[in-house]
Amino acid sequence: MLSSAMRTNVKKHVRMSAAERRDEILEATLELLGRYGIEGTTVTRIAQAVGITPGALYRHFENRDALIDEANRLASERSTRWADRSTEPDVLRRLEELGRTHHAWTVENLATIVRPFFLELSSAGPDGAGRMSMPMNRLFQIFTEFAEEGKRHGSIRPDVASQDVAWALLMFAWTEDIAHLVGAEEAIAEGAMLRNLQRMLDSFRPGDR
């Protein structure tokens, strides 16, 4: 059963601008992709979710592939916003806060770190391998820069490889996202993944802290 945001019978008579309708279609597509995957996210389902006909949907997107590509672009863009969830000046505390808030961000924004990867994996052609890693690459760069900042300010040991810090965050997010996507919410609630992240982050801390 679709969420209340997707029950659009009451919305189908509301006049929207073309841009508003396009945004609504993209949001519906993202939720349906999360529920049914690429194959199950049909034009009929998307149109029903926003209360329009399939023909009307094609006034906003040339075809289903164009719509899926645009939804994936949006998912990729959102996947990097998790890194903005904390402005804590101490880098290790910032990373700890990102870990604590990651799942809530995932649920609130219909966004995960791994979803764009799997969407592209499902739709990529022979030359798609380079595109598949873009969201992960952007986050990797962001977290590597965080690590460099932490080393400059003394919250991360200078001998720690900045890439190790980045991978600690990405591996945590990847694992938590997979648990979310397969419905294993109890694994997140029990906190094992967050505790493992904390152990990794503690290993980066200067010995006298």
Tokens of 5: 């945001």
Selected residue with higher pLDDT from 116 and 18 = 18
Hunting for tokens 């645009």 — which residue is that?
Answer: 70
Tell whether 53 and 100 lie within a shared domain. Answer: no
Which of these ranges, 5-9, 111-115, 170-174, has the smallest mean pLDDT? 5-9
Write down the pLDDT at residue 203. Answer: 96
Tell whether 161 and 106 lie within a shared domain. Answer: yes
| Domain-located, residue 25 | yes
| Domain-located, residue 209 | no
| Domain-located, residue 41 | yes
Tell whether 196 and 93 lie within a shared domain. Answer: yes
Cα 168 to Cα 176: distance, rounded to the nearest angstrom: 12
Name the residue range of residue 23's domain. Answer: 16-61
- Range 66-90 average pLDDT: 86
Residue 41's pLDDT band (cuts 50, 70, 90):
confident
Residue 117's pLDDT band (cuts 50, 70, 90):
low
- Range 182-192 average pLDDT: 87
Selected residue with higher pLDDT from 94 and 10 = 94
Tell whether 188 and 126 lie within a shared domain. Answer: yes
Q: Is the pLDDT of residue 93 over 60?
A: yes
Tell whether 121 and 184 lie within a shared domain. Answer: yes
Tell whether 45 and 93 lie within a shared domain. Answer: no
| Domain-located, residue 87 | yes
Tell whether 152 and 49 lie within a shared domain. Answer: no
Which of these ranges, 64-78, 104-118, 155-169, has the smallest mean pLDDT? 104-118
Residue 169, helix vs strand vs coil: helix
